[in-house]
Amino acid sequence: MNVLWILAHPEPRSLNGFLAGEGQRALRAEGHEVEVSDLYAMGWNPVVDAAGYGHDPAERFQVAAAAKRGYGSGALSADIRGEQEKIDRADTIVVQFPLWWFGLPAILKGWFDRVWHQGYAYGLRGPGGEWLGYGDGFLAGKRAMAVVTMGGPAWFYGERGIHGSVGELLFPLQHGTLFYAGAEVLPPVLFPGADRFTPEDAGNAAKELRERLLAIPDTEPIPYRKQNGGDYDERFVLRPDVAPGSTGLGAHLITCTTTRGSC
Amino acid sequence: MNVLWILAHPEPRSLNGFLAGEGQRALRAEGHEVEVSDLYAMGWNPVVDAAGYGHDPAERFQVAAAAKRGYGSGALSADIRGEQEKIDRADTIVVQFPLWWFGLPAILKGWFDRVWHQGYAYGLRGPGGEWLGYGDGFLAGKRAMAVVTMGGPAWFYGERGIHGSVGELLFPLQHGTLFYAGAEVLPPVLFPGADRFTPEDAGNAAKELRERLLAIPDTEPIPYRKQNGGDYDERFVLRPDVAPGSTGLGAHLITCTTTRGSC
């Protein structure tokens, strides 16, 4: 594998720092290439602005259009281009972060906001000019996997836990961002209860992470429905006969076939 | 009302800039106080770091603990303190943003990451030392409302639309962040199809926004279940008799009483 590993944690001496080191070492020991974007160490700028896309600030800044234009004309800033070159070299993307406010730390959210733009990760393509996304995005052929530490215990994030099910909390990242761009998204590696980890817990976590990383080529992706797979109508709404009556985020999984109820 | 209006858009000449101006003007015309945090105009730093909490970088940086300690000792950076003082003065918080990658722009995510920390927005309180959150957080008594523009048409974000239902996409913000801190969260003001708005569409949007803003005191909040309202067991998992069989994010709404199916 050629792995791009995106890490978003401010403290190298953290559980996240430890797991990143262990995971990257395990991959390299098996002969895989690993390139790392340690966003804190890089001082990554997460704020979308006109400068990143070479947009003239005297003109009204329409983000998606400006990004696409800047990409097409080679006007992207060096930091955005550098990340895109790393993505292009990779066949596998690992996204590692602590779950903050049930989502990505800002520095990581802004990596996607800036790098993963229209024209590069998704959009119109081909002579027919069809819109590519959800399984058919520009990054098709890559695999992606999230590695997530969470402060609370696992049952807070269970399917009836108070925080909401972690699979649904990660839907904007896994479905809306990674799968949208065409990646095959593997089930996440989750470490709940991370704020009370003992050294033994950390060792067990590292072992689980190493196993999950080395198994990436053989792991079944999350079975999200493809945009053009026949499950959505021409308005990209689930056809009435697909998981009829189901309305939650889980309905976008191929495995959701219930005639009533949540998936 | 004393309104704190958080705005996260890079372009004042955008639809978001227009709506912010119209909404704030309408509130002031009716005698309400409006304080604005225009995050782009302020050059807000969205990246959690040791400096924000006066944490000694020689010591391992454990984010939640460092934030709580920095808050208690008065060591928070001036920018974080300034935002907390604005929140303290407000009884109503408006959070306005374009939906980017089905979540908050990084600059806004990092406003919550940095400002909305343990010890200030949620955590242990009182002699009994109970953990406050989900309707009982430290910001109880305030109302909050999201104002969101979305690029795609409304049906993409419907309950069976390909992006997932917007209410569930906003769950991390509305339930996990605002309600967690104790705010009563009003139904969001949503503007789908924003990237193709005509001037007439924008005028209609401004009218709807003005009406929603002035109706804040009389609007029913989203009926999320309270942590200590009797619906969760001692592990904060929904009791078996509450919305039995329901597993989606919608199960955390009091209105979800189905014996099977998604809510």
Give the tens place of pLDDT for each residue, B164-214.
Answer: 999 999 999 999 999 999 999 999 999 999 989 999 999 999 999 999 999
Identify the pLDDT of residue B246. 86
Beta-carbon count within 10 A of A60 CB:
15
Query: In angstroms, what CA-CA distances link A32 with A2, A35, A124?
Result: 6, 10, 33
Number of H helices, E strands in chain A: 8, 8
For B117, which residue in chain A has the nearest alpha carbon?
A101
Chain A residues whose CB is inside 8 A of the B113 CB are 100-101, 105-106
Q: Which of A104, A235, A251 sits opposite B155 (nearest CB)?
A: A235
Taking 80 as the threshold, does the pLDDT of residue A261 lie above it? no
CB contact under 8 A, A61 and B98: no
CB contact under 8 A, B14 and A61: yes
| Side-chain-side CA neighbours of residue A40 (13 Å) | 20
Query: In angstroms, what CA-CA distances link A76 with A52, A54, A64, A71?
Result: 6, 6, 13, 6
Identify the pLDDT of residue A129. 80
Q: Burial code of B184-208, b = ≥16 C-beta within 10 A, e = fewer?
A: bbbebbbbbbbbebeeeebeebbee
Q: Tell me the mean pLDDT in the region A219-248.
A: 94
Q: Which long-range contacts (CB under 8 A, 24 or more apart) does B116-121 make?
A: B116/A101, B116/B177, B116/B181, B117/B53, B117/B64, B117/B67, B117/B68, B117/B71, B118/B64, B118/B65, B118/B67, B118/B68, B119/B67, B119/B68, B119/B69, B119/B71, B119/B72, B120/B67, B120/B71, B120/B84, B121/B180, B121/B181, B121/B182
CB contact under 8 A, A176 and B112: no
Q: Tell me the mean pLDDT in the region B223-245.
A: 95
Q: Tell me the mean pLDDT in the region A237-257.
A: 92
Best residue in B109, B131, B175, B227 for a mutation probing chain A (most A CBs within 10 Å): B109
Q: Tell me the mean pLDDT in the region A84-97.
A: 98
Identify the pLDDT of residue B261. 59
Over residues B27-81, the pLDDT tens digits come to: 999 999 999 999 999 999 999 999 999 999 999 999 999 999 999 999 999 999 9
Chain B residues whose CB is inside 8 A of the A251 CB are 160, 262
ipTM above 0.90?
Answer: yes
Over residues A95-126, the pLDDT tens digits come to: 999 999 999 999 999 999 999 999 999 988 76
Cβ(B185)–Cβ(B148) below 8 Å: no
Q: Tell me the mean pLDDT in the region B97-110.
A: 98
Q: Tell me the mean pLDDT in the region A199-212.
A: 98
Separation between Cα atoms, residue A83 and residue A110, nearest integer Å: 12
| Residue scoring higher pLDDT (A256 or A30) | A30
Chain B residues whose CB is inside 8 A of the A232 CB are 162
CB contact under 8 A, B106 and A109: yes
List of domains in chain B: 2-222 (3.40.50.360), 230-263 (no CATH)
Separation between Cα atoms, residue A189 and residue B11, nearest integer Å: 38
Q: Which two tokens stand for residue A176?
A: 């809306």
Instruction: Report pTM.
Output: 0.97
Taking 70 as the threshold, does the pLDDT of residue A30 lie above it? yes
Provide the annotated active-site residues of A. 151, 157, 163
Identify the pLDDT of residue B126. 66
Over residues A121-136, the pLDDT tens digits come to: 998 876 778 888 999 8
Best residue in A9, A53, A97, A249 for a mutation probing chain B (most B CBs within 10 Å): A249
Q: Which of B113, B176, B252 sits opposite A106 (nearest CB)?
A: B113
Whole-number average pLDDT of chain A: 95
